[in-house]
Each structure stands twice: as structure tokens, then as C-alpha cells.
Amino acid sequence: MRNVLLAVLLIISCTSFIVAGHLYWQKKIDATVRHAMTEATEFQATQKRMAYAKKLPAEVQAKIKRAIETNRPLRLVIAGSEATPAAKEGWPALFEQQLDAAYGSNVFQVVVKEYKGMTTKQAIEENIAGQLIKEKPDMVLWEPFLLNNNGVIDINDALAHIDKMIKTITAALPDVTIMLQPPHPIYNATYYPEQVKQFQAFAKEKGYIYIDHWKAWPDYKSNELNKYVDPDTDLPTKDGQKRWADFLAGYFIAK
């Protein structure tokens, strides 16, 4: 009888051990499967968002990917004259809304720096480069005051100012990405369009990223431009702000 009891206890112990072991390994397997599924889901989500960035320069794509994977937003500083308004109805805010809608609200941290009436000469004198450095940007989208320079600062001097500021910023922030863009066109301008062409050629020669949003506007000699740029203020109208924002969104968000 005693031997039978011992045998029963042994069977129960072995069974309990087997069951416990099975449950332990089942939990381990389940956890591994859940982890793998989570990683697969996150990978797919990252790939989906990165598809929007496929037209961007490689260094910009890398920063967006890092922001997604680390959950640390990249800091995008948008800087310029009154043509780059900080107001909520301005193109920077409209552009930010479209970035967030595509990539999610935790990928881009947008800061707008508006310098009303600023020329490139004043920007050097007032150390605007230093102000931008203090913002610790990962990327700077800069509209460098060309329209305010018009009739005041020679284009060759302006380009020298721009180059000096870029070198100051990149010396302090070696990993920063500088993206240049012109101000908006104005109706029937004489010298300004040629200055913008020289600015674009300068950017190409120096190897700077240049975003040519002028192709999104009506020709500067066309009356149609007055719908998008107020002829009294030479600033973008509500429609002009949207057109500018939409072009940049199309550049940053591939369909």
C-alpha cells in the first residue's frame, strides 16, 4: 500500500512538473510572439510613414526615420521675413498641420522665427545666425530676406551674407540640415526675379538644398498672381499662404 501511495505521489509530482513547465514555456512563447508582432506592426508603421519621405534628400530622410524610431521629434526651425509669418493662418502653420497629418504629431517639432523688415545685412549685424543656433535645430528651412533686400542690398552682397550665416550655423551645429527657399513672387517685378534666379544658382553651386516653390505660383507677369499676392502689401493673401504651404507639403509628403 505504501508503495502504491508513493507511486501516486510521484505521478502527481511529475505531472505537476510537466504542466508547470508547459505553462512556463507557453508564456515565454506567447511573450515572444507578442513581441514579434509588436515589432512587425511598428516596422510596418515606420515604413508607411517613411514612404512619405521618399522624395526628400537622404539626410532629411535619415532624420525623419530617427525621429520615428526614437520617438524624439526632429526640430524644424522655419525662419524668414514677414513673408514667413508666425501667425496661425500663415503658410508655416498650414504646412505644419499637413506634416502632422501625414507623419504624426510626434515627428516634427516646428518653430517659426519671423523677422519683419529684416535684410541680410541686418541679419549679419544682429547675429540672427546665433539666434537660430540657440534654437538647436535639426533642420532649418530658411527664406533669407531677399525681398526686403530688393533695391537696398546688392545681390552679390546678399549671397555673401547668406553664405556667411550658413557657415556660422553649420560650424556650431555640424549635423544641421539647411534648406533654402526664396520669398514669394511679386507682380510685374523688374529686378527681383533675376535676383531669385541668382540665388537659386548660388545654392546649386554651393551644394545647398534649394526648394523652388515659384513653380507653384502663377507667372509674375500675370494678373492672376494678384489673387495670391496682395498688390498693395506685396505679401501673400490667404490663398497665397495656402498655395505656398501646399507646395512644401507636396515636397515633404510624397503621394
Domain boundary among 12, 33, 51: 51
Closest CA to 179 of 77, 111, 92, 52: 77
Between CA 249 and CA 253 the distance in angstroms is 6
Are 47 and 64 in a shared domain? no
Does pLDDT of 233 surpass 50? yes
| The total number of structural domains that make up the chain | 2
Mean pLDDT, to the nearest integer, of 53-77?
97
pLDDT in the model for residue 218:
98
Shared-domain flag, residues 129 and 147: yes
DSSP β-ladder status, 177-180 and 108-114: unpaired
Query: What whole-number percentage of the chain has pLDDT above 90?
Result: 81
* 119 & 237 share domain: yes
Q: Strand pairing partners for 209?
A: 179
Summarised one tens digit per residue, pLDDT across range 144-171 is: 999 999 999 999 999 999 999 999 999 9
- The CATH number linked to 86 is 3.40.50.1110
- In this prediction, residue 47 carries a pLDDT of 78
**Do residues 165 and 143 share a domain?**
yes
Helix, strand, coil shares, percent, the chain, to 5: 60, 10, 30
- Domain identity same for 33 and 64: no
If asked whether residues 42 and 67 sit together in one domain, one would say no
H, E, C per residue of 33-45: HHHHHHHHHHHHH
Whether 23 and 138 map to the same domain: the answer is: no
- Between 4 and 88, name the one with better pLDDT: 88
In SS3 terms, 143-154 reads as CCCHHHHCCCCC
Q: What's residue 225's pLDDT? A: 98
Tens of pLDDT, residues 190-216 = 999 999 999 999 999 999 999 999 999
- Residue where a domain terminates, one of 51, 66, 89: 51
- For residue 79, the 8-state DSSP code is E
Residues spanned by the domain of 239: 55-252
Do 73 and 127 lie in a common domain? Answer: yes
Pair 103, 6 in one domain: no
Q: Which amino acid is at 166?
A: I
Task: List beta partners, residue 114.
Answer: 80
Candidates 233, 241, 217; CA nearest to 93 is 241
- pLDDT tens for residues 10-48? 566 666 666 566 666 667 665 554 544 444 455 566 778
In a shared domain, residues 162 and 230: yes
Q: At what angle do helices 58-70 and 2-51 cross, to 10 degrees?
A: 150
For residue 140, count CB atoms less than 10 angstroms from its CB and return exposed for 0-12, middle for 13-18, buried for 19 or more.
buried
> Do 46 and 61 fall into the same domain?
no
| Together in a domain, 203 and 118 | yes
184 closest CA partner among 97, 245, 112: 245
